[in-house]
Each structure stands twice: as C-alpha cells, then as structure tokens.
Structure 1
Amino acid sequence: MAKQSLPHTAIPTWSGFIYQGRIALYHILKQLNAKTENEINELVIQIDSIEDFTILKSIPTGGHTPISLHQVKAVKSALYSTYKGDFEQLEGKWAAIGLKTVEAFFHMATQNEKTKAQIEVLHPNMKVYEYENSAECCSLGDIDVKIREQIAFVLQKYNIVGHTNPNTVQLLSEILEKIVSNKVIYIHALNHGGTAIRNAAYDNPIPLQDFLNAIRTDITSHVQDEVYFESKIRSNLNRYYQEFCLDCDEDQLSPELKTKMNKYSILFNSYDAVAFKKFLQNIRPHKSISYENLQQYTDLSLNEDEMKDSFYQILMNIKESNGGDGIGWVCSESKQYFPTSINYSNSESSKKNVSERIIKTALNKMVDVPFNSDYLITSECNVDNIEAYANNVNHVNHVDTGESESETKITQWRKVSLIDLETAKKKLND
C-alpha cells in the first residue's frame, strides 16, 4: 500500500499509553492466542498511521498490507449520536484503503443505546468489536483484567510457567504495556526531531513477535527496586489521567482541550528517570518523593485524589503552558506560575499544615522552587507567604547540608505564594 494514500495520522491527539494502548495490547494478546507462531511472525501493529491502531501482514513483495483497522472511543456517553461521526470516519478510512479483505473494528468503553447488530446495519462497512461473553464494550476498569487473562492464556499455550501466579502475570502486563508506550514516545521524539509525524508513525510498527518474546523472557531477575517502582508510578499516572478524562462530561473536553491534555500526558511519559523524579517532586512540594523500596512506594508515591482533584484540573482549566515543552505559565505582570497536586482546603489550619510541609520538604530534600515560580497553583488553598505560615519550621530536624545552602533554600521559598485555581485562571486566561 502506497504511503501517500494513507489518511492523516491521528497520533498528535492520541493518548496511546492509556486506554487505547491497553485495548491494542489486549487485541495483540488475542492474536497471540488465536494464531500459530508462523502467522504471528508475519504480523505487525502500527500506532498510529491509519487508525488508533492497525494490524498489518507482511507480503512476499516486501512491506505490509493492513488486515484490520481499529478505532477506539473512550467516553461515557451511550448515545448513538455521540459516535455516529466516528463510525462514518472509520468506514471512510476502510473505503480509502480499497481492500475488501480488511476488517474495520470500533471499540467502545461504554455500552451504546443501540446494539451491535443495529449499529452494523447502519454502518455495514465496520464492526463493533466484541469481547468475551459477547460483550459489546470494555470499560477502563475491565481492560486490565482482560489483559491479564489473555497473558495467562498465552503462558499456558506456550507452556511457560507462571500462568497461575498473579504477580508474574501483573509484571508481564506492565512489561508489555511499556512496549506500546515506548513506541508512542519514540514516534513523538522523531517528530520533535523534524520527521513528519505521519511518516514516523507509518515507518515504526511493532512486530507482534516482540510481545511473544517479552512473555518468554525470564522475569525472575526482575527485582523491586527504584526502576521497578518508577514504572509502577508511571502506570498509575497514566491510569489517573485516563480516568480523569473519562469522568469528564463529553462537552467538557473539546477536541482542542483533548489535544492539549494529551500533549501533557505524552510529555510526562517522555521524561527520563531523573527528570521524572524532579517532575514528581515539583508538583508535590509538600511531600518527599522516594520510591527505592516497597515501603517508600506505598507511603510516598502518587496520590490519586491529589492528581485528579488538583493537578489535572489545573492543567485542564488553564490555557496551554507558555513556551517549549515544559509546564507553567507567565502572567501579564511577568509572574511565574506552576501547577501542583496540592488539594488542601483554604482553612487556616490547612494553610499552616501545607506551608510547614513544604518548608520541611525543602529542607530535608533540598528542593528548589519549581522553575523559580512566584505562585504555586493549588485546588483551593491561598497562602501569601509560605514561610510566615510555617511557624514551626525551626523544630524541623532537617539534614544539615550547610547553613548557606539551607538559608538559600528557605529564602527562595519565602518568596513563593500558593494561589487557588479559580484565581489563577482569571490571571492566566485573560
């Protein structure tokens, strides 16, 4: 199939590490279970050059030809009208390929008011994807369970130990999901380097054999170290993001807003280990970030409510960040603002508590003020002077890294204020 005949890629707005990526992984695992290894060796998955994902088969003359297109829609709406345009778009892409042997599948996270049969009568050139027990949709909460089930089946099929061990199956699901997310990040890196994203997406498929090879890899050498827990936190970050988006009403997320939010998600996933830890510490200045072992991961890792009720709300409600690939804003008065996951109330006790925790963290971890911000945005807490509210800071038994360095840190933080989202919106969105 000639590259120039492809419809435009949708990858700039594709949150591919999350629900769509997991649906793709589920379908890949179904193929591993249904096909022989020789058949698997001929298949690749493209993310995303024609549709959200596409399965292609190698051909004797070289290259690949599509065998199935897959569009994924993760919204709460059950109304047929919500999906009608997407159904038609998928049919249009199927027609543009010009191969009747290609199947076009539509995946839904919510049961539609019309049945699969009714939809397919109205849209005869596509099929509603069917899951186990004739289910016509798969919720965000169900997809991880289905992935683990399919992994267990693959382990059994190829006589690989571990199919009855939940920890083994869970670890494999994380390893396989990372294959998908890494590919999306790589495609975006190529795009930032100057390659047209359409070409980057088209030219970088993943062989299905890679997934089978990963399942066959001896995972007994995997240890629960900082690298392992970092991957768990990244996975949680993605899950919280997808759930946040799915919980929004359809009219809350315009296409432009979805694009903005997906860019943020891609950015956070692209951070290397050092940048990722700094990012976490910057958005959680009131808590120390550590995940070298299970206890630290359990006690100090991301908090779901903070991310959903504060951090993602801030990103959604304030215009796109100023400048480059970072996060943060500059107002008309040249003051710098940075988003946080702080969701304390605006009571006097909350102001005192969060201010003390920020100063303690700054002393113990030697945390720099995020991007030298003047204001840290919270869900609803306002503090004019963090140091003034932290009147117990002298009782903190912090690590002594030298008086001048400690004083420098505190001097920096004295200049920082907390500002609630609604007030920040007025200053930054005008």
Structure 2
Amino acid sequence: MTTKVESLPHTAISTWSGFVYQGKIALYHCLELMTKNYEMSRGLKLQLESQDDFAIFREGQCLSLHQVKAYKETLFSSYSAGIETQKKNALDRGTITAYFHVAREIRNYPDSFKKDYYPVNIYNYPIQPSESTGETKSYCPLDEVDMHIEAQINALIKATDCLDNWKINICTQIRETLEARINEKVIAVHHKIHHSKTHQKLIADEEFINFSTLCEVVEAVDYDAFKNEEYFLSRLQIDIGTYYQQFCELYDTQFQTAQAKLDGYLAVIITLDAQGMMDFLKATMPHRKGRFTTLSEFKDHALDRDSIRQGLFAIFHKLVQAEIASAEKIQFAWLVDDQFYYPTGIHTAAEAQDVICHDILEQALVEDVEFLFECGALITRAIDSPSITHVKFGADSVAREKDSMRGNNIISFKQMELVSLNNVPKELKDAEVD
C-alpha cells in the first residue's frame, strides 16, 4: 500500500551527465516487466525524473523507485549517500520496492546492507544476457546496456504469443525506436521544467509514459513509419548524449565548475528543435561532406563519435564558457577583440589542414553557409591556418561556387581562419582545466 506524502519530485533532469544511460536502464526494466506479464503490463506507467530517476506506477500507486548512477567510483562510500536518500524516499512514500542501478561493480558493501538500507536493493543483470544461465551481476556497464536491452527484447518476443517471431531479427531497430520514444519524453519534461518559473518541481510528477505506448512499438509491423524527423532528432540527441558520457569517461572533469559548464552545453544542444539541430551540426561540422536537408542525412553521414568527443567537447572543456552567438544559426561563439571564434568538431592533425580547408570550402558552397564565414576563426583541436582559402580550388568548384553562391565570390571567405586550441587567445583558455 502507498500513503500520500507531500513530497516534491527531485529535478535532477537539469544535470545531463548520464541521462542517456538512465533512459536505457529505465527501458530495460520496463521490458523485464513486460516479459513477465505482457498483458498486465499494459496498465503500467513509467515516470521519469520525479520521485526518483525513474519509477513504475499503476494508476496512482508507485510500485517501485529506481535510482541510476553511472559513476566512475567503485567504493561503496561514493554511493552510500544516494542509497540513503532513496531509502528515506521509499519509506516516506510507503513504497516497499526500491532499486539502485550502477554501471560499475561496487566494492566494500557492508555486511549489514540489506538491514541498514531496507527497502533498497541493488539491481541485478544477467552475466550472459543472451543465455538463460540464471547467473547475475550487480552492475551494468555503459558499453553493455544496449546488449542487455536487445537480449530482453528477444526474450519478450519469445515469451509473448501476440508477437511474431520474425521480430527477433530486428531487435536493434526495436530498441532504437523504443529509446527514441523515451528520450522524447525526457526532453519534453526537461523543456517544461526549464521554461516554468513557478511549478518546476511539480511538472515531472505529472509526466508519464504509458506502457501501452511501448507495446505499440513492439507490436508494430512497419518500423519505417516511426522514422520521421522527430525520431531522427531523438536518435541524434541520444548519440550526442552517449558521446558526452564517453567524453566524461576519457576526461576526468575533476572540477565541479568544468562539469557544470559541460552539462550546460549539452542541455542547450539536446533541446534544439529539428531546424536548430541541423543549423548546429552545419556550423560545428563544416568539414563534413554532403547535402544535408533532413536530420536522417545528418544521422547517417555527418555526425561521428570522435568529432564530438575529441573535437567539440574537448574544445568546450578547455575553454571558458561560450556565449550564445547573436547569429540565429550559430549556438555558441566567443568574441575577442571584435573577432568571433566558433567551436567545431575538427580534431584531425595539423598535417591534414589542406584537406580540411578544401572540405570546408566545398561544403560551404554546397550548403550555402556563408553566414559562418563573414569574419572570424574556426576553433580546431590541432590545426592553424591564417585563411581557409589558401588551398587550390579547381575550375569545376569555381563553376559550382557561382551557381551555389549566386554571384558571391569565394574570396569573401578569405578572412575565416582555423585556430588550434593551443593558439586561441589567452582570454578564452579555462585556467581550471589546464
């Protein structure tokens, strides 16, 4: 039984470190419940970022609370405060089931854990997701969570009479569609919270994903029907969030201000609408070739892991907080001595500067991104070039330039330079992360 307690939801949704992992873990648990009793699960609801990182409800009753931690630490002391908070929350609510999910194996659990932290339990995962050995482990690494989800989808299909067996062959596609649905809700809640000045702590408490929505995806016949711009926007958000997690794994952002700075960047990026996301990717990936008119084209061809991890987030990490640029199509920029500096995902070595400059020029002509090249510098990981127009540009390119730029001359790009992280103005360097 659940008692009515006047407690407000925690609004940790404003901190983006680990939000993708959290959504994936929520999906995995939902699939477990669906596998156990598919028809009964239709009446369940998933609540995100309210009473806990996520919670399961039936009508007005909270059935279980879930907290998710993707910390690097492995000592129990790093998690004890969170477990204690979850214990208090569960007891206050009268919820007798609470789970603590972790990405790494925790050492030094106290022998009296079950007694001291009741009703909290550490969530267990199969050691071999694709095999029914019954062996479990008390953590789910970041790089294994997709495998666990797909194995659970496989088990769900085999255990449920109304699901066709051929769907076993498209578990990845089903997973990605389900993740997109959950991510859309996470982003929607985030957007409402950050645009409300009076009811922030109540918004998430009223937002649910009905399990019937998840059933609709699992039961679908044509998965291409789900692949609209909202789907690809959600998948891009998930990819960028995943790359951010991986970046944080590689770079130990030991200063709290640095972590908050990066969280702030990500919070802006993943709440862009479809057009805003396209503009952002065009501005920060000016060297990526192709005509990009839809987000699906960006998803397939423009965005890669290293451009985000080694390029864009490495630049954000090393420099001071960027201001929002005045130009509508540029999300971030710095202004020093009347010159704008724009972050990019360019992370290749200095030896590749001619190739990069050539690619930027060609892409500028294809995409007509002249707004980016009025005057200023593109910040790269390692390349310095006083002008992007020093490379040879053939007759064919000039002809295309005349058509694409409607008479504008390529010389108008001559004031755009490339500058490496080492050579940006000292005013831009963040002393806390040097």
For the criterion TM > 0.5, the same-fold answer is yes
Corresponding position of 2:428: 428
Corresponding position of 1:415: 415
Matched, 1:157 2:168: no
Query: Any gaps of 5 or more consecutive residues in structure 1?
Result: 59-63
The alpha carbon displacement at 1:256 in A equals: 4.4
**Aligned partners of 1:174, 1:299: CA distance in 2, in Å?**
14
RMSD between superposed Cα atoms in Å: 3.3
CA separation of 1:14 and 1:238: change in aligned 2, threshold 3 A? closer
**Aligned partners of 2:423, 2:112: CA distance in 1, in Å?**
48
The alpha carbon displacement at 1:138 in A equals: 0.2
Q: Is the 8 A contact 1:152 1:163 kept in 2?
A: no
Corresponding position of 2:132: none
**Aligned partners of 1:158, 1:116: CA distance in 2, in Å?**
40
The alpha carbon displacement at 1:117 in A equals: 5.9
Query: Any gaps of 5 or more consecutive residues in structure 2?
Result: 127-134
CA separation of 1:5 and 1:277: change in aligned 2, threshold 3 A? same
**Aligned partners of 1:352, 1:407: CA distance in 2, in Å?**
25
CA separation of 1:345 and 1:14: change in aligned 2, threshold 3 A? closer
**Equivalent residue letter for 1:272:** D
Corresponding position of 2:27: 25
**Aligned partners of 2:291, 2:117: CA distance in 1, in Å?**
51
The alpha carbon displacement at 1:28 in A equals: 0.7
CA separation of 1:221 and 1:8: change in aligned 2, threshold 3 A? closer
**Deviations 1:288-327, CA, capped at 9 Å, x for gaps:** 245789x977983322222211111112333333148963
Match runs of 1:260-279 below 5 Å: 260-279=261-280
**Aligned partners of 1:96, 1:319: CA distance in 2, in Å?**
42
**Deviations 1:188-214, CA, capped at 9 Å, x for gaps:** 222344363322211111112211122
**Deviations 1:351-407, CA, capped at 9 Å, x for gaps:** 22211221121123322343856121111211221113x2x1234536636469366
* Greater mean deviation of Cα atoms: 26-35 or 41-50: 41-50
Q: Is the 8 A contact 1:363 1:399 kept in 2?
A: no
**Equivalent residue letter for 1:379:** R
Match runs of 1:313-332 below 5 Å: 313-323=314-324, 327-332=331-336
Corresponding position of 2:106: 112
**Aligned partners of 1:299, 1:9: CA distance in 2, in Å?**
33
Q: Is the 8 A contact 1:280 1:289 kept in 2?
A: no
**Aligned partners of 1:116, 1:229: CA distance in 2, in Å?**
45
1:379 corresponds to which of 365, 378, 381: 381
Matched, 1:83 2:79: yes
Corresponding position of 1:352: 354
Q: Is the 8 A contact 1:311 1:341 kept in 2?
A: yes
**Equivalent residue letter for 2:413:** W
Match runs of 1:353-368 below 5 Å: 353-368=355-370
Corresponding position of 1:61: none
Matched, 1:405 2:405: yes
**Equivalent residue letter for 2:383:** C
**Aligned partners of 1:300, 1:36: CA distance in 2, in Å?**
38
Matched, 1:393 2:397: no
CA separation of 1:282 and 1:338: change in aligned 2, threshold 3 A? same
Matched, 1:284 2:285: yes
**Equivalent residue letter for 1:102:** I
Q: Is the 8 A contact 2:378 2:419 kept in 1?
A: yes
Q: Could you say what secondary structure the match of 1:127 adopts?
A: strand
**Deviations 1:262-283, CA, capped at 9 Å, x for gaps:** 3433433333333322222211
The alpha carbon displacement at 1:336 in A equals: 1.8
Corresponding position of 1:303: 304
2:37 corresponds to which of 23, 35, 38: 35
**Aligned partners of 2:222, 2:19: CA distance in 1, in Å?**
22
The alpha carbon displacement at 1:26 in A equals: 0.4
Corresponding position of 1:217: 220
**Equivalent residue letter for 1:81:** S
The alignment-based identity, stated in percent, is 26
Q: Could you say what secondary structure the match of 2:161 adopts?
A: coil
Corresponding position of 1:339: 343
**Aligned partners of 2:191, 2:232: CA distance in 1, in Å?**
24
CA separation of 1:220 and 1:418: change in aligned 2, threshold 3 A? closer
1:204 corresponds to which of 191, 195, 207: 207
Q: Is the 8 A contact 1:72 1:106 kept in 2?
A: yes
Matched, 1:136 2:130: no
The count of corresponding residues between Structure 1 and Structure 2 is 415
**Aligned partners of 1:43, 1:299: CA distance in 2, in Å?**
35
TM-score by length of 1: 0.84
